[in-house]
Structure 1
Amino acid sequence: MNDIADFLRARYAEQRALALAASPGPWQPNAEHDEVIAIDGITVAEGFALSGRQLRATVDHLAAHDPTAVIADLDAKLALVADLDAERHAVVEDCWYTCAAATEERDGGETCDESRLGGPCDCGRDARIDRRLEILARPFARHPDHKGEEWAP
Structure 2
Amino acid sequence: MSDIADFLRARYAEQRALALAASPGPWQANGEHDEVTAVDGITVAEGFALSGRQLRATVDHIAAHNPAAVLADLDAKRFLIEGCEHALAAAEADPTAEAAKNSTEVVDRLLRYFAAPFAGHPDHKGEEWAP
Give the TM-score normalised by structure 1.
0.77
Q: Where do 5+ consecutive residues of structure 1 fail to align?
A: 92-97, 103-122
Cα distance in 2 for residues equivalent to 1:5 and 1:62: 27
- Bigger Rg, structure 1 or 2: 1
Cα distance in 2 for residues equivalent to 1:53 and 1:129: 39
Cα distance in 2 for residues equivalent to 1:26 and 1:16: 15
Cα distance in 2 for residues equivalent to 1:23 and 1:150: 37
The superposition leaves residues 67-115 of structure 1 with CA deviations (integer Å, 9 ceiling, x where unpaired) of 0000000000000000111121276xxxxxx426x9xxxxxxxxxxxxx
- Select the structure with the greater relative contact order (CA < 8 A; seq sep ≥ 6): 2
Is it true that 1:137 corresponds to 2:115 in the alignment? yes
Between the two proteins, the alignment pairs up a number of residues equal to 127
Give the TM-score normalised by structure 2.
0.89
What is the RMSD computed on CA atoms of the aligned residues? 2.0
Aligned residue for 2:44?
Answer: 44
- Aligned pair partner of 2:95 in 84, 91, 99: 99
Shift of 1:128: 3.1
Report 1:111-150 matches (<5 A).
123-124=100-101, 125-150=103-128
Q: Confirm or deny: 8 A CA contact 1:26 1:69 kept in the other structure.
A: yes
Q: Which has the higher helix share?
A: 2
Q: Where do 5+ consecutive residues of structure 2 fail to align?
A: none
Cα distance in 1 for residues equivalent to 2:3 and 2:85: 12
Shift of 1:127: 3.4
